[in-house]
Amino acid sequence: MSSSPSASSSGSLPDGFPNGPKGKKPPMPWFGVDIGGTLAKLVYYEPNDINPSDNDPDVEPDVLETIQHYLKSNTAYGDTGVRDVHLEIPNVTILGHTGSLHFIRFPTYEMETFLHLVKEKKLSSLAEVIHATGGGAYKFEKDFFNIVNMKLQKHDELNCLIQGIHFIDRLLPNECYYWSHPDPRNSEGSIKKPYDFRDPYPYLVVNIGSGVSILAVHSQTNFQRVSGTSLGGGTFLGLCCLLTGCETFEEAIDMAAQGDNTNVDKLVRDIYGGDYNRFGLPGSTVASSFGFMHRKEKREEASKADLARATLVTITNNIGSLAMMTAMNLKLTRVVFVGNFLRVNPIAMKLLAYAMEYWSGGKLKALFLEHEGYFGAVGAFLQLMGYSHDDETTHIISSPHKEQNGMQDTENGDSTASH
């Protein structure tokens, strides 16, 4: 079961984008940016070949090739920028070019460092305008102009999110998946399986970034924000840093993976001595997050890893409860979880999958996407290419591998393809 989406991926965009600038291709490089509260995400298109007509005539011809070589030959940029190689999508045809989509991220607090790197590599000489989304597109607008003399063309982040989800799903046959037999107490028993997302409407999107936004999606152009919470990925990381002294999200997740939240949380069995059968509450259910921490001896016994695990369980359970209540209130059965909180975070994914399935009596299915937190940046990239969510022509890519890779319709959207 491969986690890489790049092995057999291909798709294409038509040569005529209805909203392109006077029918002309934008000058290269082609990329879109999503500047969030914690992470900035960049999607970059690397063509296999570059024609002289693709360059701005006022730019030195070798500058673009130098920048492309720098981006492709490195997986780290500066001290904190990372290219997620496993998410690369090759063989994507866009406006007469065939190439690869690359996915790059760096902490938002390093924005000034990133901009100085852009200036050093002369990227600012290739583009005067960057298509961007996210709150940081407003916050850092002056920095982009003052440091690298670039303007930001800002786009609505929810529009970009939804367009990005459906664009990537049409490119990749196994982008969407779920966890079969999810059980946080038996992680090895959970099996990752592909989900056929060709006819998803209506569904709920739970976007877990620094905070959480929940959207009801009825079509590619009909969606609205219906709920949310300030307790998201930023809360998890902030509390972990306070409680354990960790410095990064990866460190917090690694620590949580080694911990036991039952040394911190008070469970149903700690109160009732076992299950609470009258209301269908298993003894293993968390009754009070951090419920043991008022006792000195429990605080002394709890390790930093236990505290990290309890923090992860607390935030995830809160998100899961809100998502489930929203879905049931709107009578939606599919709940798609996205956002960088899920990156390198199988614990949270399996907790969410278990909560959706168990507490809904099997009526709700938790779905996940391989490219997690990059959909906003993909949506901004699409805006650069002239695509608009208002277009009547919404099927802008072809993905023949949907059929070639064994995706089959079934009653519940399951597939027999390996992932």
CA 111 to chain centroid, in Å, comes to: 20
Contact 44, 378 (CB under 8 A): no
373-388 burial code (b ≥16 CB/10 A, e <16): bbbbbbbbbbbbbbbb
Range list of β-strands (E), 60-175: 76-77, 81-83, 89-94, 97-107, 129-133, 151-155
Give CA–CA dist 202/224, Å, rounded. Answer: 12
Give CA–CA dist 284/269, Å, rounded. Answer: 7
- Judged by DSSP in three states, 376 sits in helix
Asked about 157 being catalytic, the answer comes back as yes
Fill in the DSSP letter of residue 19: T
- Judged by DSSP in three states, 132 sits in strand
283-317 burial code (b ≥16 CB/10 A, e <16): bebbbebbbbbeeeebeeebebbbbbbbbbbbbbb
Which residue out of 157, 175, 370, 372 is catalytically annotated?
157
Nearest to 108 by CA among 128, 129, 84, 138: 138
Active site residues: 157
